[in-house]
Amino acid sequence: MSETPRDFLKRLFAFSMGPLASALISFITVPLATWLISPEEFGKASMFSLVLSLFGLTAYMGLDQAFVREFNAYSHKTKLLLHASLPPLVISCFVSVGVLFFTRRLALLLFGQPSFFGILCLALCLPLTILEGFNMLVIRMQERAKLYSGLSIARQLVYALLMVGFLYALRNFQGILLATTLSSLIASFSLTWINRQYWNPAGLGMDRELLQRIFAFGLPLVPANIIGWLFAGMDRLALRTWSDFTQIGLYSTGFKIAGLLLVVQSAFCTFWVPTAYRWYESKEAPEKFERVSKTISALMCLTGILVIFFRHLIIRIFAPSYAASAVLVPFLIFYPILYTISETTTLGIAFSRKTILNVLITIPCAIINGAGNVILVPRYGALGAAISTSIAYLAFFWLRTILSSFVWIKMEAKAHAANIAFLSSAAFFSLVEGGSFNPIFSILYFGLFGIIFFLNRNVLFSLTKPLATFYKSSKL
């Protein structure tokens, strides 16, 4: 039976509770952190997070995405999990041992100072991150929304409490590293216990056909992920090369403000990917996918305009030394906005299993981002990195959308083009406005908000009925 709009919203709401609550916790703790450490120390911690997150892009070998792709098509979930997770776990353990042999060099590269403690935290977090990631994927693909949200909230709360406590005691970047490592350790072992029935290898042999299938899906993603590693991390690498830790700290803080949209990205993508695969396997009409795409485009761009308008107010809760981050926000929001919309327009690549197309997406984007950083960062610092990132993600969105249309349905893109154009105009106006509040520009922002709302009025008003039905049913 086809899924009703009320059921769709009910599951979306359940999946969203975790990211939303986690964002609220982060929104409270990150400003506290800015009062405890300087932007320079925050920048050093950001380099640790960068390496940790970018490591996963290659260590997973695309097998996490292969696991997601095969979950609804393969009946033996335990065998699928073990075949997909063991290669990345083994690789991460070898890399962990390897980084300990280059402790001094890595510490100087990442933190600008010797720090065995920092590299030890990195070595411990590498396999823990892989283990935690696959455990969360199991719960996510089962669409156990309440459990997923509850675990996400608990994980963020543990991290927040540890971070504030350690920063208060240490007053340097090592407090964040220690909080990251301990929270990852707690989360990994707790999740493994929850999913323990899926980690039981008793009686399971190697399935060569399954291995071939998941590697055929995942391995073409490896070169794309390596290039994506450069694409995603080039901004902070450029700042590390041509600027200083203070600029990295300001840039990272700007991303925390843009995190208001990152939480929407996280909530939607967590829910959408398993839903999209299930719809595809059950042969749902393509119009359903297109309706979701137009709705997300409108909502994300409207929210982006509001974040640009309120950025001067939001920055006031951070320490005064971080005030310059407000200028970066209008450009940093392009990443979560365009990535989220593209998740609804790039489905054909995954559905058709033509993951090699991701290479054709990431190479041009990496080149664009690299050129932008080389030109802009030496002169404009964090602002140059933010502008370069926004341009690269514009290319990322359109390449994903266009290439997907070649292997699946061709989605109507006029609404996306108009929404993104008006959002880009708001970012340009913010650059002219500068770092101080100007009421004239507020009129421009709300004018752009009104235009986007008017152009998308049909898809937005179509939400009222299912939202009203969902609201009434939730009160019963």
The span from the first CA to the last CA of the chain, in angstroms, equals 24
At residue 202, the 3 state secondary structure works out as: coil
Would you place residue 48 in the very low, low, confident or very high pLDDT band (cuts 50, 70, 90)? confident
Lowest mean pLDDT among 155-159, 347-351, 353-357: 353-357
pLDDT average, residue stretch 51-70: 81
Q: What is the pLDDT of residues 190-238, one digit of tens each?
A: 999 999 888 887 656 777 888 888 888 887 777 766 666 666 667 777 8
- Of the two residues 351 and 466, the one the predictor is more confident about is 351
As a whole number of Å, the CA-based R_g of the chain is: 22
Q: Is the pLDDT reported for residue 151 higher than 80?
A: yes
Q: Is the pLDDT reported for residue 470 higher than 70?
A: no
- Of the two residues 356 and 300, the one the predictor is more confident about is 300
Q: What is the pLDDT of residues 265-281, one digit of tens each?
A: 777 777 787 788 888 88
What does pLDDT average to over the chain? Answer: 83
Q: Is the pLDDT reported for residue 170 higher than 80?
A: yes
- Of the two residues 307 and 265, the one the predictor is more confident about is 307
Region of 318 (left: φ > 0; alpha: ψ -120 to 50; beta: rest) is beta
* Confidence at residue 59, expressed as pLDDT on a 0 to 100 scale: 81
pLDDT average, residue stretch 26-48: 80
- What share of the chain has pLDDT > 90, as a percent? 25
Give the Cα separation of 420 and 337 in Å (integer): 9
Q: What is the pLDDT of residues 108-127, one digit of tens each?
A: 988 888 889 999 999 999 99
Q: Is the pLDDT reported for residue 475 higher than 60?
A: no
* Confidence at residue 427, expressed as pLDDT on a 0 to 100 scale: 92
Q: Is the pLDDT reported for residue 184 higher than 60?
A: yes
Helix, strand, coil % in the chain, rounded to nearest 5: 85, 0, 15
* Confidence at residue 310, expressed as pLDDT on a 0 to 100 scale: 86
- What share of the chain has pLDDT > 70, as a percent? 89
* Confidence at residue 424, expressed as pLDDT on a 0 to 100 scale: 94
Closest to 113 in 3D by CA, of 104, 121, 102: 104
* Confidence at residue 466, expressed as pLDDT on a 0 to 100 scale: 62
Q: Which two tokens stand for residue 377?
A: 């960062």
pLDDT average, residue stretch 16-27: 72
Per-residue CA distances from 391 to 104, 431, 467 (Å): 36, 14, 35
Q: Is the pLDDT reported for residue 77 higher than 70?
A: yes
Q: What is the pLDDT of residues 450-460, one digit of tens each?
A: 999 999 988 88
Per-residue CA distances from 267 to 94, 110, 144, 165, 338 (Å): 33, 31, 14, 28, 15
Please list, in sequence order, all residues whose beta carbon lies within 8 angstroms of the beta carbon of residue 250, skipping any fewer than 6 positions away: 39, 43, 322, 324, 325, 328, 382
Give the Cα separation of 318 and 324 in Å (integer): 11
Would you place residue 1 in the very low, low, confident or very high pLDDT band (cuts 50, 70, 90)? very low
Please list, in sequence order, all residues whose beta carbon lies within 8 angstroms of the beta carbon of residue 280, skipping any fewer than 6 positions away: 347, 351
Q: Is the pLDDT reported for residue 386 higher than 60?
A: yes
pLDDT average, residue stretch 79-95: 90
Q: Is the pLDDT reported for residue 167 higher than 50?
A: yes
* Confidence at residue 472, expressed as pLDDT on a 0 to 100 scale: 59
Q: Is the pLDDT reported for residue 317 higher than 60?
A: yes
Is this model's pTM higher than 0.75 or not? no
Burial 141-171, CB ≥16 within 10 A → b, else e: beeebeebbebbbbbbebbbebbbebbeebe
